[in-house]
Structure 1
Amino acid sequence: MGSLGVDFVPPNEEMEMEFDSSAFPPFKLSEIRAAIPKHCWVKNPWKSLSYVLRDIVIVFALIAMAIFLDSWKFWPIYWVLQGTMFWAIFVLGHDCGHGSFSDSALLNSVVGHFLHSSILVPYHGWRISHKTHHQNHGNVEADESWVPMPEKLYKELDFATKLFRFKIPFPLVAYPLYLIRRSPGKRGSHFNPYSDLFQPHERKLVVTSTLCWTLMVAFLFYLYAVIGSLQLLKLYGVPSMIFVMWLDFVTYLHHHGHEQKLPWYRGKEWSYLRGGLTTVDRDYGVFNNIHHDIGTHVIHHLFPQIPHYHLVEATKAAKPVFGEYYREPKKSGAIPFHLVGNLVKSMKKDHYVSDNGEIVYYQTDPKLFNFSEKKDE
């Protein structure tokens, strides 16, 4: 008993106020920048090229092994390994697009076209839309990647479309459709120089990338004539599908978090810093180094000029500044199985955001997965 006859209840976690991730951060972007060691900003083209060489050697070594063994016991292993390497190649081309590969625009463009065209990604078309994503991250109206649908648009979709969009496996194979048609509510193609995505001065760049993409498609048709459709499917087609699954899996998880609700912004509430803080770091276990530490996503979003091989160090240096605004990723084992559960839970909850308000959160359509209720309507 206390002196006033009232039981003393010690503070506990339940009594603590939950951290408001949408609160305006008490630090500035310049403070985060100042905390990052200066050498983390240095781009070493030879080091970047060494990663390209490493990945290419592995890709061709896997092809040689698959052709030599030609065994159905090895083909599934090959598909997973090669699809993962295609994803690693995409990340290096992604660095070229950000200019974090080197200080040479020419080198970035040449390497970026070579890498991205080889996996059927239009380099400049994607680079420009991805730049839009970074410049407007966390903005409901202007973001480009995995941007939430407003409630009105969501309710205009028929039930089959909703189910198709929010059920696995479609979200893991959505990237090719995104390149062609973008997301619901947005128009334009990454291949069309006159798309709404691009400014007039960017059209020649888009034409160049579309031409490189077309040459790769022509090369694949040539391989089809030489080795046949089944061999081409085994060597290139299936790994390409695995790569697309990796891309959609990783990018989705970096912008959704069922563990803690992530705010989205409109109007004057949005800022580059607040938007960047809505991204999420993830631990991919043994894949962290293979796909060039893309899991260190918060620092990458705020400062895409930092080379991938400095992201881990830069993140560690910035964490004291971030404080509670940094969501520590759950440590993974060798294989990040827990992230599959995160993906499923998020897709069952994150369906749309309110049409109104300048700070909004994902809301859930309770009828989407309630088939019996839908059937009775």
Structure 2
Amino acid sequence: MVKESKPLSYGAENGEKGSFDPSAPPPFKIAEIRASIPKHCWVKNPWKSLSYVLRDVIVVTALIGAAIWFNSWFFWPLYWVAQGTMFWALFVLGHDCGHGSFSNSSTLNSIVGHILHSSILVPYHGWRISHKTHHQHHGHVEKDESWVPLPEKIYKNLDNTTKLLRFTLPFPIFAYPFYLWYRSPGKEGSHFNPYSNLFSPSERKDVITSTLCWSIMFSVLLYLSITLGPFLMFKVYGVPYLVFVMWLDFVTYLHHHGYKQKLPWYRGQEWDYLRGGLTTVDRDYGWVNSIHHDIGTHVIHHLFPQIPHYHLIEATEAAKPVLGKYYREPEKSGPIPFHLITYLLHSIKQDHFVSDTGDIVYYQNDPKLQKYSFTKFE
């Protein structure tokens, strides 16, 4: 077992003393957390889940109608932000289908998941399977799937352009479509290819189905662009899609990075499901919390993805006494979560790679990258 020395916490960098070691094995078991959560929090109500789908679809449809009705440059920017946020809400409901927290029916989950995710150009099963891998191995340097830290050797072999695109805003918050097609540096495969090493042979039929649904949606968008005009479709669908991608990358990154104290990543025998899940961070998104179905309540979701989103807040409150310091209370947000931009900027600037060795490692900084970034864009 090799343990890397702990870095200063973000607070310690400002002269504060940090005494809690987030990499220490917790004094509780996952069964104790599970037992603390009320039994009704595990109950999946398909009608309640479908009511959220109906709500979101009505809002999306109403926004499209309003945008076409007003068709003014005063209204379009408001529409883009609102509709992009609603696309993100649709993704979260499809995400629940992928986890099986939407209902106990795998058929209903698959049908709703395909409709929701295909509508925003996400291959449902392809994403579902890779996201399952993320949950099963969260916090593992090599086996995790979402925003995986780059080992130093892989990082140093990246060309400067790739480094800039990965670690210079705004480029990272537009990464999701590229991830679907090419995954992350150091990993191979595509979420659209049934023969990708992301999938087992038994999963290939599901991946083909999702890729076909994605292709149908893309064809519909292409047809509408030809018949209605590409500029109108760009305004109605294209810009909201980009806002959705920004939301997805922004939220998923901050659930696993950018806390005020640097959090560990694991290898080998130091990793286990509980320790990996406990490095997840809850976030408060202000008035957006209810719109995107409380996805910011993320720690309990990571440990128990079977819990429906409408029970996550109650489940988290019940589990806090067990979690103790391993639960990091999110900083309260104003109506709009501008405070999270600071954490994103700090993390992108500081968290570049982890050591090639060590079973407990922390992000390290490449000072040359910042210098190169300024030179590149001067």
TM-score bracket, normalised by the shorter chain, equals: over 0.9
Can you list the C-alpha shifts for 1:13-57, whole angstroms capped at 9, x where unaligned?
96x661000000000000000000000000000000000000000
Equivalent in the alignment of 1:8: none
SS in 2 for 1:306: coil
Instruction: Extract structure 1 runs of 4+ deviating beyond 6 A.
Output: 372-375
Equivalent in the alignment of 1:273: 274
SS in 1 for 2:172: helix
Contact 2:123 2:214 in 1 (8 A): yes
After superposition, the Cα gap between the structure-2 partners of 1:204 and 1:371, relative to the gap in structure 1 and judged at 3 Å, is closer
**CA–CA distance in structure 2, aligned partners of residues 372 and 328 of structure 1:** 34
User: What amino acid sits opposite 2:254 in the alignment?
Assistant: L
**CA–CA distance in structure 2, aligned partners of residues 273 and 171 of structure 1:** 28
TM, length-normalised to structure 1: 0.94
> What are the within-5 Å matches in structure 2 for residues 16-27 of structure 1?
18-27=19-28
Shift of residue 374 of structure 1?
A: 7.1
Contact 2:22 2:264 in 1 (8 A): yes
**CA–CA distance in structure 1, aligned partners of residues 28 and 368 of structure 2:** 41
TM, length-normalised to structure 2: 0.94
Residue 90 in structure 1 maps to residue 91 in structure 2: yes
Equivalent in the alignment of 1:135: 136
Contact 1:258 1:345 in 2 (8 A): no
Higher deviation after alignment, 250-259 or 124-133: 250-259
**CA–CA distance in structure 2, aligned partners of residues 367 and 266 of structure 1:** 27
Contact 1:367 1:374 in 2 (8 A): no
Equivalent in the alignment of 2:208: 207
Unpaired segments of 5 or more residues in structure 2? Answer: 1-14
Residue 186 in structure 1 maps to residue 210 in structure 2: no
Contact 1:367 1:373 in 2 (8 A): no
Identity %: 73
Equivalent in the alignment of 1:64: 65
**CA–CA distance in structure 2, aligned partners of residues 329 and 258 of structure 1:** 9
Equivalent in the alignment of 1:10: none
Shift of residue 159 of structure 1?
A: 2.0
Largest Rg, 1 or 2? 1
**CA–CA distance in structure 2, aligned partners of residues 58 and 204 of structure 1:** 33
Can you list the C-alpha shifts for 1:169-219, whole angstroms capped at 9, x where unaligned?
111000000000000000000000000000000000000000000000111
Contact 2:164 2:373 in 1 (8 A): no
Give RMSD over aligned pairs: 1.3
Equivalent in the alignment of 1:303: 304
**CA–CA distance in structure 2, aligned partners of residues 373 and 221 of structure 1:** 39
Equivalent in the alignment of 2:351: 350
**CA–CA distance in structure 2, aligned partners of residues 268 and 342 of structure 1:** 30
Equivalent in the alignment of 1:48: 49
**CA–CA distance in structure 2, aligned partners of residues 66 and 373 of structure 1:** 40
Equivalent in the alignment of 2:7: none
> What are the within-5 Å matches in structure 2 for residues 354-365 of structure 1?
354-365=355-366
Higher deviation after alignment, 116-125 or 161-170: 161-170
Higher RCO (CA 8 Å, separation ≥ 6 residues):
2
> What are the within-5 Å matches in structure 2 for residues 304-343 of structure 1?
304-343=305-344
Can you list the C-alpha shifts for 1:211-248, whole angstroms capped at 9, x where unaligned?
00000011111211221001000000000000000000
Equivalent in the alignment of 2:237: 236
**CA–CA distance in structure 2, aligned partners of residues 326 and 55 of structure 1:** 31
Shift of residue 372 of structure 1?
A: 9.2
SS in 2 for 1:368: helix
Q: How many residues align?
A: 362
